[in-house]
Structure 1
Amino acid sequence: MTNQRAYPDPRASAAPVLAARGLKKSFGRVVAIEDADFDLYPNEILAVIGDNGAGKSTMIAALVGALRPDAGAIWLNGREVTFRNPMEARTSGIETVFQTLAMAPSLTIVDNMFLGREYRQPGVRGRFFRALDRGRMRQEARRHLSDLGLMTIQNIDQVVETLSGGQRQGVAVARACAFGSKVVILDEPTAALGVRESARVLDLIRDVRDRGIAVVLISHNMPHVFEIADRVHIHRLGRRIAQVRPGDISMSDAVAIMTGAMPPPERDAVP
């Protein structure tokens, strides 16, 4: 990838924990993102909004290695990075819940929660025979699901394909929030959830932010965005056109900027 713009000067503002400049991704003749910039700062909830087809999910996929951008550069904590797949991003501390959820339907809830990072039993059984500590994993999985308020899941050893869409969404969100160490990215995390579960997800997002982890929330639910976000990244026609604070702009104006009915503000809202 080639740098199309320089990394933001940390002396001008707080240094972003995750940043990108000039991202481009095309699928044949279709340009999904073009000259797209991104900035996520420490201890913030950044909402990403945009119309259908604006390129939000493509940009996120490029940031975490699910797609390889055709051009541009990405930095994590000031260091330029190139993720070949989401597993590399996860190893670097970035957890992502895609709209597809990336769950293994034939495995249990516990197996999905700890997939790729299973706990081993202490001593010889774990070190040499790689025996799993399933009791500890069950305990931790139950705790994380309880934190999210998913009390409708009675048996955490049931396979994921037997869960409802909302329950699967909850498991994916709980997994990301439990293991993200630097950044948690949630793509439409409340789309399949009821009112009570959605409220618990928003509370969990706040808790993650308060633990010092930056959160990206991609959502079409404007009330949720304006309730929880510290800043809003507005995406249109494949690129970021504005960064605003919910307290400085109305919900209707944000939608107008997003759809092109209103020009973006002259200055971006940055820390």
Structure 2
Amino acid sequence: MTIILYTLAVSFGTALLLGFLLGFFKKVFYVPVDEKVAQVREALPGANCGACGYPGCDGFAEAVARGEAPVNGCAAGGAATAKAVGEIMGVSAAAEKTVAVRACQGAKGCAANRGEYTGVKSCAAAKTVGINGTKMCSYGCYGLGDCTAVCVFDAIHIEEDGLPHVDYEKCTGCGMCVKACPQLILSTVPVQRKGAVALCSNRNTNKAILMKQCKAACIKCGKCEKVCPVQAIVVTNGIPLVDYEKCTSCGQCVSGCPTKVLKLVQDVTA
């Protein structure tokens, strides 16, 4: 009985001492927490997608509080989050919602295959080992789903046509799929943008080869330039580029494109 009581007394004393020491060291090594960091973190959506360039929402919140990151730097949160964070930091914020757009129409049955790919199911891996595309068009989508793998919002999927399709109800424009695409066929555009966009990344200027590679490729005919009433579109390095300061979204280049490469942004992102 004496041993039991002695053991209990020692255990109680040890626990009391440890509790005292923990409290002491907590005060000695206490690091004050910036209230703004906690407030900013609370205002963020918690996606931890990394699109802001920081290690998750905690890292971004700390950077904002230090003045090292813009208050509208959270793409996943959009304008509402930018406004909330701006109010916490005492600055005005404007964040334009963006979404991802795919500049490739080389679907199955449209783009000629180079062969059967049997390696690691990764676009980056296939490109790293020197495979010049899974299709004859070396600029086209590999269709192996790197963009799908990095999307934390479940907003982009490889569908039956072999191409990634964006769910614009879910897409936040975070840009992670853009960074993951080794072919650079994905980009983010403002949802409020009006005007034409070219959905092809093939820079080859040989029309005969282009038509063999993909039925939906830009054939560099220049008709879009000719029909534009305000000279807002110029074929540069094989790709029709639009000056959105000039573009009136009239749609003449869209209707005039023989391979239907050009579409109005508002129709693509609808």
Q: Which has the higher strand share?
A: 1
Fold in common (TM above 0.5): no
Normalising by structure 1, we get a TM-score of 0.23
Normalising by structure 2, we get a TM-score of 0.23
Which protein has greater RCO, CA pairs closer than 8 Å, 6+ apart? 1
Please say which structure displays the higher CA radius of gyration: 2
